[in-house]
Structure 1
Amino acid sequence: MQNVNESAMEEESPSLLIDAQIKEMGDWRGEMLARLRSLIKQADPEVIEEVKWRKPSNAMSGVPVWSHDGMICTGETYKNAVKLTFAKGASLEDPSHLFNSSLEGNTRRAIDFPEGAKIDEEALKALILAAVALNAASKKPGKKSS
């Protein structure tokens, strides 16, 4: 049987859950995640926000996920960085060399933003749009859009 708080959390929209995560952090990481989230939404106004992987080990807050015809990226906060991990990052052109983490894998690539990092907003938006285009190109005919 669920308690009232668990039930209420499940009913909250992903956007409200992400808002709560940002507010709860109350430091530079929350500000950075909020800024990155804003840039993602500017780049793709049709992006869908979700919160996945909610479990006791992450205080039930989960991980923000942005999708459009499939996952674009996740936003995770660590002690020393906010990390945007692009689900298909290894398949994306990165002319501005934004990817600086998870470079060894065959699929994902990530960008770590430490405290005080300057964001190349235009390059990040271009990378997000490239991820959306890759998702759209690899979408199977007849499959519902996410």
Structure 2
Amino acid sequence: MSADWRADTVEKIRSLIVAAEPAVVEEAKWRKASNPDGVPTFSADGLICTVETYKDKVKTTFAKGASLEDPTGIFNASLDAGTRRAVDVFEGEVIDEDAFIALVREAVALNRG
């Protein structure tokens, strides 16, 4: 197993978010001893999503995911959460780039109301 697949996946997700919303603001939040780099957060007129790295996956959690249309079914985690929805990517999986970009754009539009 490649230790770098998660970092590569985070970079891919970051590039898709920027492609969807070039004016996005990225910040690292919630730094702690077990995660000194913190959690990358992406905002545009409000929080869009966070990207967290785990041992077996990279999780992109959309702050208002439950309010977003998901015609392709890209959300595969936190499906029973009241507000959030997430996309978990495991090693070897390919992100549906068009569906992901559409989600980010919809999240930004929702923030801008």
TM bucket by the smaller chain? Answer: over 0.9
CA deviation map 1:55-106 (0-9, x unaligned): 1232x21000000000000000001100000000001000010100011111
Out of 87, 104, 125, the residue aligned to residue 63 of structure 2 is 87
Identity rate, percent: 59
**Which of the pair is proportionally richer in helix?**
1
Query: Paired residue for 2:100, among 120, 124, 144?
Result: 124
Aligned twin of 1:55: 32
Letter in 1 for 2:83: T
Structure 1 residue 26: Cα displacement: 5.4
Pick the structure with more strand per residue: 2
Q: Which residue matches 2:48? A: 72
User: Whose relative contact order is higher, 1 or 2, with alpha carbons under 8 Å and at least 6 apart?
Assistant: 2
Q: Equivalents in 1 of 2:29, 2:66: separation in Å?
A: 22
Unaligned runs of 5+ in 1: 1-24, 138-146
4+ runs of 1 displaced by more than 4 Å? none
CA distance in structure 1 between the aligned counterparts of 2:83 and 2:49, rounded to whole angstroms: 12
Q: Tell me how many residue pairs correspond in the alignment.
A: 112
> Could you tell me which residue of structure 2 aligns to residue 14 of structure 1?
none
Normalised by the length of structure 1, the TM-score is 0.74
- Looking at structure 2, the residues matched to 45 and 123 of structure 1 have their Cα atoms a distance apart, in angstroms, of 17
Higher-Rg structure is: 1
Task: Measure the CA separation in 1 of the matches of 2:107 and 2:100.
Answer: 11
Find the counterpart in structure 2 of residue 38 from structure 1. Answer: 15
Where does residue 5 of structure 1 map in the other structure?
none
Whole-angstrom distance in 1 between the partners of 2:97 and 2:86: 16
Amino acid at match of 2:52: E
